[in-house]
Chains A and B, each alone.
Chain A
Amino acid sequence: MTTQPGTLADGFNGRKGSQWIVFNVGETEYLVDSAQIVQIEMVENVTSVPNTEPYVRGVAYLRGQVVPVVDLRVRLGLPATQPGLESRIIVIGSSARPVGLMVDSAREVIYLEKSAIAPPPEIASASGATHVSGIAVSNNRVLLVLDVDAVLQASLKLAPQSEVSQAIEQEGHTQGRESS
């Protein structure tokens, strides 16, 4: 089943700013620019691939393509859980290379002016939370803008495995402290 951001957005016609998808990972609400999104899918039929990074959930067959699926919970340092009915795969199309991001839910489309997004606070960037590129406050909710490229870039890094996993552990550590 596919949810088209466009159809969701119909009710928001006339709003100013660009369209953002709100999704949850754990308790945190994130934003991703809808222009980066190819499609949003229910989590079905993800085949796990052995000997890959812990945050790689596996591969899914979407629209005739084999798409790698990254478990964003694990990528952002939370413990893995079984996907539920709310879970979604957000397929990001970065430079013709589709990657699915598995999130806990993705239900909402909002419109935000660029000016409504502030740079991430010092404290976050100092602690190495490079996966957030900005912060927006909307109706008393704090929304973090996911830096998709950073998330995928770091995953792509061809460094020896030990370093990557170290980096993830560190990040997970930081993330854990932040959310507690």
Chain B
Amino acid sequence: MSGDGHGADFGEFKAGFLVEVDEYVQLVENALLELEGDLGTGRPDKRRLQEIFRAAHTIKALAAMLEFEPIVELCHRLESVLRAMERDILPFTATGVDTLVESTKSLSSLVEDVRSDRTLARPSAILQQLDDLLALSVDSSATLPAPSGTRLSDAGQATVSRNPTYEVRFSPTSDLVAKGVTINAIRETLSRMGELVEVRPEVDPNSPGQLTFVLIVSSEADEATLASAIGLGTGAIREISNQGPQQPPQTSPPLPTEQGRQLGVLRVDISKLDDLMRLVGELVINRARIGRAVSDLNRTDRREAVTAIQESTQQMERNLRDLREAVMRVRLVEVRQAFGRMHLVARDAARAAGRQVRLETSGEETEVDKVLVDRLTDPLIHLVRNAVDHGIEPPVDRASSGKGEVGTIRLSARPEGDRVVIQVSDDGRGIDREKVAARAAPLGFDPAQVRSDDEVLMHALCHPGLSTRDQAGRTSGRGVGMDVVWQRVREMGGSMELSTRQSTGTTFTLRLPLTLAIVEALTASCGGQRFAIPINAVDEVAEIPRREIVHFEGNEILQHRGQVLPVLRLNRLFHLGEEYPDQPYLHAVVVDAGGSRWVMTVDRLIGEQEVVVKTMADTLVRTPGVVGATDLGDGQLVLILDLPELVRAERDRHQNRSGGRA
């Protein structure tokens, strides 16, 4: 047993706590920002207040379970303020919203303390601020009595009289949690099956530390149905209809139940799990088939048994591939998670720097591997802060240049082949090339190139030694963060591009893999070396007669299925010899590089297989068009190509050349 007084399952609970609380904290943050938008109207959106209230309440209940007292206290105080605002007895002011935002920050820093096993300190300052705020209420009865329970519904009264009311008692244990029986799951199920009237935590004096939730629900379902739906025995439920109606107190906010359920704690779509179950089922059937065939081997009909085994093996291969894809899909989450947080980041940075900023997001529904979304957050924070601090001009300057005082930062995501493209752009002043050139010169950068070439400019900005800090905001000196951003992006197997125009704005473009791990790839050979080409980027595979390739101003083009396509030869791009110079045909793949189709020739296409992607992030070996490497099983690494990136790099090179640069 651990010495801190918590049980052995504390760690398990803590992990679950963090997952859920993170979601709720973010929800509160976002809702507060929207609430801030209501300040103009002078009236808060009541639904939003309720939403925040419920989230705070859930965090409180979760924290109470694990005895994180400072969090419980803070949430409780938050609830009081929210309730007072909701009941219009506390004026809805900017100061009020500010205090709420500050409390939320304090809340998330407490959660961070939990995450890093630090001792939680009582956030006295912010509690005092909340108290001061509450003192402004015209009716002090808004203050909640004590952290006990909350009435969730007053709309339930009519329902209460019609349907029987039950009391459900639930004491979380690690076994139950492992089975998915959690307070939130139960709460959700019950509110779907009836009207959830009350949820309150109770501490059993006989076993301190063990928390019991008491849920009052009215439902037309009977006890047994309810019990099995929530995964508890019937002993946990008893009917209490005859004990008088549950008088909903006036202070309770109405509960739009549907909304409550959207509080999306990272949940997996049931249909995705059903897919998994179905696939596992098929595998089991197949295994049985093989077992039968193997026992048949001992009898006479050997050939039939061998055929059956072969068929089953093939079937299993398909099943495993499907299973892998299904598991990948389960891992995918929307980038919304990472984007959502940026509103607060932009708001904070704008305040600190005295800017007016609007953050617009698009493509939040783009799905990316959960791990990537998590790792994306830090680089995004840096980029957004940088955009505010260094991109967007002070309102006066903007006005005088006819831009409008409010600057815009756009955050967008979209899939592109097997990558996701994330852009952070601002309509600010653009990066001062002269300044960067001056500072980068001592670091070995050619000032002329820094001035003229966005890529060199970006390398300079991302150099650990560079920081154009004279304007430095409190949050970032550009340069300090940029090297970290770039490093993170490369670690994820991604790339970053910069484009900036004086007084027009700056855009950072990140290209990241959608998933880590495994991709389906074509294997090809070129100049005696093998390469893997992720199949998502390949439109089709073709054999091209050499004589159909037309030379055109130093380039090669080809008519293919009625389209004229540019031809690139991997041998030449990679300075490799040709394996079959006399062969009249070339093997090629047609690549879609962000809208335009290109033909890429190789010496030979070998086959198609799944490969495990190992990223190659080290600067020594980072090269355009190579995303990583894989071991095909013989210990020799095979490079995995990103053909769209390769095509883009080549196209840019051409454009630069024709643009007059020697």
Contacts and interface: CB of A to CB of B under 8 A. Distances in A.
Nearest to B483: A158
B615 interface: yes
A4 to B, nearest CB: 20
Interface string A23-55: 000000000000000000000110111111100
B575 A50 contact: yes
Which of under 10, 10 to 19, 20 to 34, or 35 or more describes the interface residues of B?
20 to 34
Contacts of A52: 620-621, 623
Interface string A149-163: 000000111111001
Given A50-B573, A50-B575, A66-B615, A160 B621 contact: no
Given A53-B620, A58-B621, A160-B446, A47 B638 contact: yes
B626 interface: yes
Interface residues of A, number: 27
A50 to B, nearest CB: 4
Contact of A97 (B460, B573, B614, B618): B618
B637 interface: yes
A47 B618 contact: no
Contact of B620 (A50, A60, A70, A160): A70
B611 to A, nearest CB: 13
Interface of B: 443-446, 449, 456, 459-460, 462-463, 529, 573-576, 614-616, 618-621, 623-624, 626, 628-629, 631, 634-639
B623 A61 contact: no
A30 to B, nearest CB: 20
A70 B618 CA distance: 12
A26 to B, nearest CB: 22
Contacts, number: 82
Nearest to A49: B621
Between B462, B628, B635, the greatest number of chain A beta carbons within 10 A of the residue's beta carbon is seen for B635
Nearest to A58: B621
Nearest to A157: B444
Contacts of B620: 52-53, 56, 68, 70, 99, 155-156
B637 A61 contact: yes
Contacts of B456: 160
A75 to B, nearest CB: 11
A68 B443 CA distance: 24
Contacts of A45: 634-637
Interface in A82-100: 97, 99
Given A45-B635, A68-B621, A51 B629 contact: no
A51 B628 contact: no
Contacts of B463: 158
A50 B446 contact: no
Contacts of A129: none
B616 A44 contact: no
A47 B444 contact: no
A156 to B, nearest CB: 5
Contacts of B624: 51
A96 B459 CA distance: 22
Contacts of A110: none
Contacts of A158: 445, 459-460, 462-463, 619
A78 interface: no
9 contacts: A50-B573, A51-B623, A56-B620, A61-B635, A68-B616, A155-B620, A156-B619, A156-B620, A159-B443
A59 interface: yes
A90 to B, nearest CB: 15
Contact of B629 (A53, A66, A159, A163): A66
A50 B576 contact: yes
A61 B616 CA distance: 11
Contact of A66 (B443, B446, B459, B637): B637
Determine which residue in B445, B449, B619 has the highest number of CB atoms from chain A within 10 A of its CB, and name it: B619
A41 to B, nearest CB: 11
A157 B628 CA distance: 21
B623 A50 contact: yes
Contact of B639 (A47, A56, A68, A155): A47
A112 to B, nearest CB: 29
Given A59-B629, A68-B620, A160-B449, 6 more contacts: A47-B636, A48-B529, A51-B573, A51-B574, A158-B463, A160-B445
Contact of B637 (A59, A155, A157): A59
B259 to A, nearest CB: 46
B635 A56 contact: no
Contacts of B615: 66
Contacts of A59: 616, 621, 629, 637, 639
Nearest to B628: A66
Contacts of B445: 158-160
B450 to A, nearest CB: 9
| Interface core residue of A49, A60, A70, A155 (most chain B CB under 10 Å) | A49
A45 B629 CA distance: 13
A114 B67 CA distance: 55
B470 to A, nearest CB: 23
A49 B616 CA distance: 11
Nearest to B575: A50
A127 B573 CA distance: 36
Interface in A114-169: 155-160, 163
A76 to B, nearest CB: 16
A157 B443 CA distance: 9
Nearest to B638: A47
A47 B529 contact: yes
A155 B573 CA distance: 23
Contacts of B460: 158
Contacts of B635: 44-45, 61
Contacts of A51: 573-575, 623-624
Nearest to B636: A45
Nearest to A60: B637
Contacts of A68: 616, 618, 620-621
A159 B621 contact: no
B402 to A, nearest CB: 37
Most buried by A among B624, B634, B637: B637
Contacts of B444: 157, 159, 163
A58 B636 CA distance: 11
Nearest to B619: A156
A56 B446 contact: no
A52 B620 CA distance: 7
Contacts of A159: 443-446
Nearest to B456: A160
Contacts of A47: 529, 629, 636-639
Contacts of A99: 618, 620
Nearest to B634: A45
Contacts of A70: 620
A163 B460 CA distance: 14
A163 B446 contact: yes
A52 B639 CA distance: 13
A49 B619 contact: no
A169 B624 CA distance: 24
A164 to B, nearest CB: 9
B619 A50 contact: no
Contacts of A50: 573-576, 623, 626
A58 to B, nearest CB: 7
A163 to B, nearest CB: 6
Nearest to A67: B618
Which of A44, A60, A61, A163: most chain B CB closer than 10 A?
A61
Contacts of A56: 620-621
Nearest to A48: B529
Nearest to B450: A160
B537 to A, nearest CB: 18
Most B CB atoms within 10 A — which of A44, A47, A60, A70?
A: A47
